[in-house]
Amino acid sequence: MTITDEQAYDCEALAAYLRQLLDEHNESMREASMAAGLDHSALYRFATEHQRPTRDSCIAIADHFDLNPNEVLTRAGYPPLHFFDRSLVDPQAQPPYVAELASRLSRIGPPSRRRQICQALLRIIELTMETSGSV
């Protein structure tokens, strides 16, 4: 770990962010840790003991909470990974009505509600394709 990494890491900010995610998802630290594929006390160490998570832990947490991994990585003081940079997707490659829907979905908060709505829309699309024979 370099000095620059340490300076960029604000353990209090990450702890507050993790607690917010837990509240939004109505999960305990233990539940979220296990669901993210981490050991049972991982989130406790990150949020309470201010231990800095590894990059892999940040990605696992983001995956569990359905977030862009760069959101968690940067809050833990790591540089964003270009692999997860969604701004590289060309919005012109989609019809305008699809881009508008994606834009509106991305503004729904909290993330847990956005995820539920996206899952419901995906199910509607699946049912529509099944009934129209487009599967």
Task: Give residue-wise pLDDT tens across range 32-88.
Answer: 999 999 999 999 999 999 999 999 999 999 999 988 898 999 999 999 888 777 655
The answer to pTM > 0.75 is no
| Residue 30 structure tokens | 């233990």
Instruction: Please give the C-alpha separations between residue 90 and each of 36, 80, 96, 99, 102, in angstroms, as whole numbers.
Output: 30, 19, 12, 10, 13
Residues 2-21 have pLDDT tens digits of: 434 444 789 999 999 999 99
What is the number of domains present in the chain? 2
Alpha carbons within 13 A on the beta-carbon side of 52:
15
Which of 108, 54, 119 minimizes the C-alpha distance to 62?
Answer: 54
Instruction: Tell whether 93 and 58 lie within a shared domain.
Output: no
By residue range, what is the domain housing residue 63? 3-86
- The reply to whether 23 and 82 lie within a common domain is yes
Residue pair 5/73 in contact by the 8 Å Cβ criterion: no
